[in-house]
Structure 1
Amino acid sequence: MVKWIAGLALVGAAVPALAQDVKQGGELYRVHCATCHGIEGTGQGPMAGVLVIQPSDLTQLAKANGGAFPLERVVKRIDGRDPLVSHGSPMPVYGFFFEGKGKAVKTDSGQPIMTSAPIADLMAYLQTLQAE
């Protein structure tokens, strides 16, 4: 019995953390993203007018993806695996603020993707902005 319980503890330890902090993600968004994407996430931030490519309306990401939030695509855009040239530098321009301990988050296919804890928190917040 003790071996079985110990085995369960080891299995539980091997499962990647999936919990995300929406409140922390909201703070990160307000500090690092709202300048371009706007407080409401609609792409109407004060810097939007000077960008070559206009910021995405982040409230429409799920709608534009058949109703599922495109977590993997957004993670890769933010962490630089899918760079955006309109910033003149890797997205986001505040990239070092989004570095941190690795964390796995589940994509809609169920497959986890590794990213940093701050980006995982930001994803949780962006999902709350999605229009119905």
Structure 2
Amino acid sequence: MIRPMFGAVCAGVMAFASQAVGQNVETGAELYQHYCATCHGIEATGHGPMAGVLVIQPTDLTQLAAEDGVFPTARVVARIDGRDPLVSHGSPMPVYGPYFEGQDTSMKTPDGQPILTSQPIVDLVAYLQTLQ
């Protein structure tokens, strides 16, 4: 009897451990500088050094919540990890999901809907939210 109960307790602990451990804005800022600033610019306004050679200009990431006042968490996560591809310069926007694999976690949208993603994407989204 103890052995099946031990397995159930372990499974519960593992499920809890896979939940989001929090957002790290500083890590998100570092990820942004490394992966995003080349196109979106250091200030995230869409004026990075590569913007001039792109057919579709990079989005001003400081205005993501401007339309309705709500940060579009699900859309941003889907763009970063490739679930919602964007064609720019004749090819998809660089998909960074593969770079951030292996640290699965979840986060919630403003309306409470959970999204499965990775911890680096959670951190990057946290940083982008500070820019609004």
Instruction: Give the superposition deviation at 1:76.
Output: 0.3
Distance in structure 1 (CA, Å) of the matches to 2:89 and 2:80: 12
For the residue of structure 2 that corresponds to 1:82, the secondary structure is coil
Listed as ranges, the matches of 1:52-67 within 5 Å are: 52-64=55-67, 66-67=68-69
Aligned equivalent of 1:107:
109
1:89, CA displacement in angstroms? Answer: 4.4
Alignment of 1:70-85 (within 5 A): 70-85=72-87
TM-score (norm 1): 0.82
What secondary structure does 2:29 align onto? helix
| Matching residue's letter, 2:23 | Q
Cα contact 2:109–2:115 (8 A) shared by 1: yes
Q: Report deviation, 1:119.
A: 0.7
Cα distance between partner residues in 1 of 2:40 and 2:129: 15
Aligned: 1:127 with 2:129 = yes
Question: CA 1:21/1:87 → structure 2, altered by over 3 Å: closer, same or farther?
Answer: farther
> What number of residue pairs does the alignment pair up?
121
1:92 aligns with 2:91: no
**How far does residue 109 in structure 1 lie from its aligned partner after superposition?**
1.2
In 1, Cα distance between the equivalents of 2:81 and 2:95? Answer: 10
Q: Distance in 2 between matches of 1:71 and 1:121?
A: 12
Query: Which amino acid is 2:111 matched to?
Result: S
Does residue 44 in structure 1 map to residue 47 in structure 2?
Answer: yes
**Cα 1:114/1:124, change in 2 over 3 Å:** same
Asked if structure 2 preserves the Cα contact closer than 8 Å seen for 1:87 and 1:93, the reply is no
> Runs of 4 or more off by more than 6 Å in structure 1?
none
**Partner Cα separation in structure 2 for residue 36 and residue 15 of structure 1:** 32
**TM-score (ref. length: structure 2):** 0.82
Query: In the alignment, is the contact (CA less than 8 A) between 1:18 and 1:105 conserved in 2?
Result: no
Cα 1:100–1:14 change in 2 (3 A) is closer
Structure-2 residue corresponding to 1:13: 16
> RMSD between aligned alpha carbons?
2.1
